[in-house]
Amino acid sequence: MTTADAGPGGRDSGPYVKSLREVELPADIASAAASDAATVGEMLDALSMELGGKAGLPARQEARDLIAAVLNQPRFWPSANRDAPLEPAALVALAEATERLKRGMPFQYAVRRADFRSLTLYVDERVLIPRPETELLVEMVLAQTGGLGAIADVGTGSGAIALALASEGRYDRVIATDISSDALAVARHNARLLKPERRAVMEFRSGSYCAPLAGEQLAAVVANPPYIAPAEAPELPTLVRNWEPPFALFAADEGMAAIEAIAGGAVGVLVPHGLLALEVDARRAAAAAALVEGTGAFEQVVIHNDLTGRERFVVARRKETRC
């Protein structure tokens, strides 16, 4: 059985950090664990009863997905391996994840992991949950840089973008910045977990947007910045609004402040023809493209759609000289 890694310091440090004597198991899980060796099937039955179909999912499906995620197994592994015994540490992790889920946490926070491209990342409430749309941003950067040079991921959060680029490209260096020391702790933890997958040297720097990049000459600056206006908070899904970190969601100036800061900061650190790649939302794509063009430092400013046909990405090239 493959088990998850304990999380970085701060807040709840994730699964596998306590003994069974230190964790109060929910009643159904405690009953299943009363024997010397609880099995996957027993826990599947117990969790189905404990969860009762939380978050609109059929209870058994949710229990299966929770077990698979906590044990780092394929989605349908629990159903096909009902007789497999569970170690005590796994029972602890399942109990903790179950309690988080019952409190209303998004599934990825509850199980302390999220998939992003070929990577499995540790995530908690200090960082945004990586989205499938952002995987396309990574694809675009790899294609347009040839996977070469030194690059930066601004506002790295969990490190998803930076780690994917460091794993799939052949960059000299990948620099990850964030204003949040909590987010950088999570990103560094993921970098340690994923060290075998990384090809590039990684650096983590604390500071606001592009400020930590001063003096660099980079082939690309990539970012999925906060771009939601605070007034738009009521429109967000409850799981996003109530759990994900506000500093990574919201930006001043009608959601444009972070985009403006990154575009302006990238001017001084990109080499001629260097790539600026931003993820935005459909409501701001045109405004973001106009803002990038308005700096006078970029050319080939293009808006790209995501897989659903929505305007999602703004990419541009640094001019030889600023006009």
How do residues 266-316 score in pLDDT, each as one tens digit? 999 999 999 999 999 999 999 999 999 999 999 999 999 999 999 999 999
Q: How many other C-beta atoms are found inside a 10 Å radius of the C-beta of residue 88?
A: 15
Same domain, 97 and 149: no
Q: How far apart are CA 257 and CA 251, in angstroms?
A: 6
Q: Is residue 244 part of a domain?
A: yes
Residue 150 in domain: yes
Question: Which range, 55-69, 88-102, 296-310, has the best average confidence (pLDDT)?
Answer: 296-310
Q: What pTM did the predictor assign? A: 0.86
User: Is residue 133 domain-shared with residue 240, that is, in the same domain?
Assistant: yes
Range of the domain at 65: 20-111
Amino acid at 28: D
Same domain, 68 and 202: no
The last residue of a domain, from among 60, 91, 111: 111
Confirm whether 272 is domain-assigned.
yes
- Residue 178 host element (H or E): strand 173-178
Residue 1 lies in a domain: no
Contacts of 210 (CB under 8 A, 6+ apart): 152, 154, 177, 221, 261, 262, 264, 265, 266, 268, 269
> According to the model, what pLDDT value does residue 46 have?
85
Two structure tokens written together for 112 = 């302390």
In the block, tokens 């575009």 appear at 263
Query: Is 232 domain-assigned?
Result: yes
Tell me the CA end-to-end span of the chain in Å, nearest whole number.
59
Question: Both 100 and 224 in a single domain?
Answer: no
Do 83 and 224 fall into the same domain?
no
Helix (H, G, I), strand (E, B) or coil at 277: strand
For the segment 116-158, what is each residue's pLDDT rounded down to a tens digit?
999 999 999 999 999 999 999 999 999 999 989 999 999 999 9
Q: Residues 204, 285: one domain? A: yes
Asked if 316 contacts 268 with a C-beta cutoff of 8 angstroms, the reply is no
Whole-number average pLDDT of the chain: 87
Q: Higher-confidence residue: 55 or 304?
A: 304
3-state secondary structure 72-132: CCCCCHHHHCCCCECCHHHHHHHHHHHHHHHCCCCHHHHHCCEEECCEEECCCCCCCCCCH
CA distance to 181, 212, 237, per residue, from 206 (Å): 7, 7, 30
Residue 27 has a pLDDT of 56
Q: Do residue 105 and residue 155 come from a single domain?
A: no
Number of domains in the chain: 2
Domain contains 177? yes
